[in-house]
Amino acid sequence: MKHRKMFALGALAVAATALVGCASLPSPQELDAQAMAMHKAAFRDQGIAKVDRINQDLGQKACSSEQPPGEAVAKQIETESLASIKWPAGGRYLGDWREGEKLAQNGRGMTWTDSSTATSANGAQCYNCHQISKEEISFGTIGPSLYNYGKLRGVKDPYDPASAAIVQYTWGKIYNPKAYAACSNMPRFGHMGLLDENQIRHVMALLLDPQSPVNR
């Protein structure tokens, strides 16, 4: 009996120690703060790549957490992202699809080895994630196929008022895709200053011009 009592007391002591240990574990917020501090200590400015790139906005924080954002937070991200979109001057949405193809093929820009942060030094690297034209057989599949993008959406004339909704949506999607999906994996080309207005016009033409190889 004495041994049983001693065993029971020992078990209680172990359980109490375990509870104290659990109670002293850092919270998820504290762990996040520790991880951020570790990142800031481990990285340094290198060329055009600055340490401030690891600072996260609301969308990045919410979408890189253990759980996806709740409905209210997701809606806030989308609303703020939609408000950030700058629509093209004079309502000119399309440029030259040939220049758009060059941008889609170009994966350069914004690395520490690049010498300039100017948008003219950047590509859009669309083929990294999407099929776009049949001529290019090397493409990623993270995003959906964009082949026949305009044709499948009934865009016969991008300047026809009947096409306005899809044209405007496409511009917004390129400029800041979080406006339409809070945790979109697509780069925010306009919002983050990766492409300028004319470059976005060229990518728009690649997707929507009936003469583009995308729609033929």
Residue 2: predicted pLDDT: 46
Residue 18: predicted pLDDT: 52
Q: Give the lowest-confidence range in 5-9, 31-35, 187-191.
A: 5-9
The mean pLDDT value for 77-104 works out to: 97
The mean pLDDT value for 143-153 works out to: 97
Confidence of residue 74 (pLDDT cuts 50, 70, 90): very high
- Identify the CATH assignment for 84-215 out of 1.10.760.10, 3.40.50.261, 1.10.10.60, 3.50.50.60: 1.10.760.10
The mean pLDDT value for 148-158 works out to: 96
Share of the chain above pLDDT 90, in %: 65
Instruction: Return the sign of the alpha-carbon dihedral for residues 185, 189, 191, 194.
Output: positive
Beta bridge partners of 46: 49
The mean pLDDT value for 85-89 works out to: 97
The mean pLDDT value for 91-111 works out to: 94
Helix H, strand E, coil C: the string for the chain is: CHHHHHHHHHHHHHHHHHHHHHHCCCCHHHHHHHHHHHHHHHCCCECCECHHHHCCCHHHHHHCCCCCCCHHHHHHHHHHHHHHCCCCHHHCCCCCHHHHHHHHHCCCCCCCCCCCCCHHHCCCCHHHCCCCCCCCCCCCCCCCCCCCHHHHCCCCCCCCHHHHHHHHHHHHHHHCHHHCCCCCCCCCCCCCCCCCHHHHHHHHHHHHCCCCHHHC
The mean pLDDT value for 22-29 works out to: 75
Is it the case that residue 201 has pLDDT exceeding 50? yes
Confidence of residue 35 (pLDDT cuts 50, 70, 90): confident
Is it the case that residue 155 has pLDDT exceeding 70? yes
Q: Per the structure block, which two tokens stand in for 87?
A: 């629509």
> Structural domain boundaries of the chain?
84-215
Residue 5: predicted pLDDT: 46
The mean pLDDT value for 15-21 works out to: 51
Residue 185: predicted pLDDT: 94
Residue 99: predicted pLDDT: 97
Confidence of residue 17 (pLDDT cuts 50, 70, 90): low
Task: Report the candidate in 93, 87, 99, 203 with the shortest Cα–Cα distance to residue 159.
Answer: 93
pLDDT tens readout for residues 134-143? 999 999 999 9
Residue 85: predicted pLDDT: 98
Confidence of residue 65 (pLDDT cuts 50, 70, 90): confident
